[in-house]
């Protein structure tokens, strides 16, 4: 018997597990492939704010960025590296965005060193850029470290049932609380309002004689050098999905695309590809993450039709699955958002602290229900 079970061992699921382990809870983590085996393992795991003019997503990612920088350094310093970030505009529109960002941000900005500029391409040097202190995480080791102390089971979960105050998982494991952190793969619940965008990610580790002290982001993300290695990655393919695509992912084509895009930013020499990492990352259709309890759609439609139809429904009147939550939809900011969102979810589960309506899954149920009426 466990206090909480987490299905999905990416950065979201592992962050939730860590939060509950700190509260001396008995934690079970299940994943069909392994720890950080999907989109999290393929991520560059860069810790960066969102470079945009304004908006709710920018605000929550900036809060999460500040929180996560301190969190990783405090709890997992051996798997976290501070590195100055250089974000370069892709085009004229993004240049304007970066100018406004620099005018309005409260984050401390830095100047790019001349030694780095000498390695950038001429086209990159001509674009507007922003530089600040950021970081990078060892994705695999970080996720593994987070769930030390939890029971990990490599298993594809087929069935979850709530009985007598507990969730029964595949007729084998029981937990008082259940958290779904399954990314963009099919949900275990038959709830049509839960929709996520699957975006295929590809990262390559390369050996190169080019030394890069910065975390560089333009068309793709390029890590700081680790010896003679760099990581180059992107969430860059919205058309391929491992569960629906007829043809397997073309790794060679993905490699060529990553190297071509990287070469627009930095002059790489003596490049040899060492390893590929691929996986499906999840994002929501309004780009905000999803954190919190899940609505029982059929029961809520039956009891709360008038509330659903109003312009601003009262989410507290909806009916919810007992002791069941989700954490998902972080897109390319998983390693930035996960610790911050996991803390919010823990405080909700253990202390009934209210979660902002801008990130709870119920917002999607309300929109879905209105379209049906």
> What is the domain partition of the chain in residue ranges?
2-38+142-196+285-372, 81-136+197-282
- Note the pLDDT tens digit of each residue in 2-32: 999 999 999 999 999 999 999 999 999 999 9
- 51 or 54, higher pLDDT: 51
Contacts of 270 (CB under 8 A, 6+ apart): 207, 208, 209, 210
| Across 215-233, average pLDDT | 93
The model's confidence at residue 245, banded by pLDDT at 50, 70 and 90, is confident
- Note the pLDDT tens digit of each residue in 326-354: 999 998 899 999 999 999 999 999 999 99
179 vs 4, 9, 25, 154, 156, CA distance in Å? 8, 11, 14, 16, 15
Helix pair angle (334-351, 11-21), 10° resolution:
40
- 161 or 303, higher pLDDT: 161
Query: Which pLDDT score is estimated for 237?
Result: 62
Tokens of 245: 């695509």
| Across 232-240, average pLDDT | 72
Query: CATH fold of 2-38+142-196+285-372, please?
Result: FAD/NAD(P)-binding domain (3.50.50)
- Note the pLDDT tens digit of each residue in 26-36: 999 999 989 99
Q: Which of 113-117, 150-154, 275-279 has the highest mean pLDDT?
A: 150-154
- Note the pLDDT tens digit of each residue in 34-45: 999 888 877 878
Query: Which pLDDT score is estimated for 183?
Result: 87
Count, residues in the chain: 373
* Contacts within 8 Å (CB) and 24+ apart, 70-75: 71/339, 71/340, 72/47, 72/135, 72/137, 72/142, 72/339, 73/135, 75/18
Query: Which pLDDT score is estimated for 264?
Result: 96
- Note the pLDDT tens digit of each residue in 56-65: 999 999 999 9
CATH of domain 81-136+197-282: 3.30.9.10
Query: Which pLDDT score is estimated for 29?
Result: 98
- Note the pLDDT tens digit of each residue in 121-156: 999 999 999 999 999 999 999 999 999 999 999 999
- 225 or 43, higher pLDDT: 225
């Amino acid at each position: 018997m466990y206090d909480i079970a987490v299905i999905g061992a990416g950065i979201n699921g592992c962050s939730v597990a860590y939060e509950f382990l700190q509260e001396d809870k008995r934690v079970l983590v299940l994943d069909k492939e392994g720890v950080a085996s999907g989109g999290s393992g393929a991520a560059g795991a860069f810790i960066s704010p969102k470079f945009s003019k304004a908006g709710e997503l920018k605000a929550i990612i900036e809060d999460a960025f500040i929180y996560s920088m301190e969190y990783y350094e405090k709890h997992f310093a051996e798997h976290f590296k501070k590195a100055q970030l250089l974000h370069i505009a892709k085009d004229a529109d993004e240049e304007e965005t970066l100018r406004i960002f620099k005018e309005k941000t409260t984050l401390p900005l830095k100047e790019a060193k001349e030694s780095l500029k000498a390695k950038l391409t001429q086209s990159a040097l001509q674009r507007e850029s922003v530089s600040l202190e950021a970081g990078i995480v060892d994705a695999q080791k970080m996720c593994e470290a987070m769930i030390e102390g939890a029971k990990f089971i490599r298993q594809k979960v087929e069935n979850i049932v709530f009985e007598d105050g507990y969730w029964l998982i595949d007729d084998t494991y029981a937990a008082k609380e259940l958290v779904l952190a399954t990314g963009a793969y099919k949900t275990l619940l038959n709830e049509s309002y839960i929709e996520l965008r699957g975006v295929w990610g590809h990262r390559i580790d390369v050996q190169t004689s080019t030394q890069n002290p910065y975390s560089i982001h333009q068309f793709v993300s390029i890590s700081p050098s680790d010896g003679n290695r760099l990581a180059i990655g992107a969430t860059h393919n919205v058309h391929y999905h491992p569960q629906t695509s007829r043809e397997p992912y073309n790794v060679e084509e993905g490699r060529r695309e990553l190297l071509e895009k990287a070469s627009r930013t930095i002059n790489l020499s003596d490049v040899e590809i060492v390893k590929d990492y691929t996986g499906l990352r999840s994002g929501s259709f309004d780009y905000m993450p999803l954190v919190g309890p899940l609505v029982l759609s059929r029961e809520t439609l039956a009891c709360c039709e008038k509330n659903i139809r109003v312009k601003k429904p009262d989410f507290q009147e909806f009916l919810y699955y007992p002791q069941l939550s989700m954490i998902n939809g972080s897109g390319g900011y998983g390693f930035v958002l996960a610790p911050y969102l996991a803390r919010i979810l823990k405080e909700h589960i253990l202390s009934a602290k209210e979660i902002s309506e801008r990130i709870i899954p119920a917002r999607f149920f309300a929109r879905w229900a209105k379209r049906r009426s």
